[in-house]
Amino acid sequence: SAVISQKPSRDICQRGTSLTIQCQVDSQVTMMFWYRQQPGQSLTLIATANQGSEATYESGFVIDKFPISRPNLTFSTLTVSNMSPEDSSIYLCSAERAGGPSTGELFFGEGSRLTVL
């Protein structure tokens, strides 16, 4: 298994500001992902964080709003830019175990709960 640490665990932010969430995995993983869980909603994939190249974004999410970095195999950041109250969510970092077919067995961090005022 892999242990994923995220920080901050929670924050209260002002409208129009940006916040960067950090994600650290305790072992090398092939794939890292960022998910969002809006209040009362299911988890939605924002993007796949690719090591050494630009992230791959899902429909409805763009790089200008959610820039992602992944400088190595164990670390990634997600920035939520120019925040509005609609960005109030739990943001979750996840990773897939290395090796074998990709089946969806992901490890998740504890999440970063952002509240935008």
Q: Which is nearer to other proteins, 26 or 110 (CB)?
A: 110
Q: Which is nearer to other proteins, 3 or 17 (CB)?
A: 3
| Residue 99: C-alpha distances to residues 35, 91, 102 (Å) | 22, 26, 8
Cα–Cα dist 109/10, whole Å: 13
42 binds other proteins, rule: CB under 8 A: yes
Report helix, strand or coil for 85: helix
Cβ atoms < 10 Å from Cβ of 95: 26
Question: Which amino acid, residue 64?
Answer: D
Closest CA to 76 of 46, 99, 104: 46
Q: Measured from the CB of residue 87, what is the shortest distance to other proteins in angstroms?
A: 19
Q: Measured from the CB of residue 15, what is the shortest distance to other proteins in angstroms?
A: 25
Chain residues 76-115 in contact with other proteins, contact rule CB under 8 A: 92, 94, 96, 101-111
Q: Measured from the CB of residue 35, what is the shortest distance to other proteins in angstroms?
A: 8
Residues in contact with other proteins by the rule CB under 8 A = 4, 31, 33, 41-45, 48, 58, 92, 94, 96, 101-111
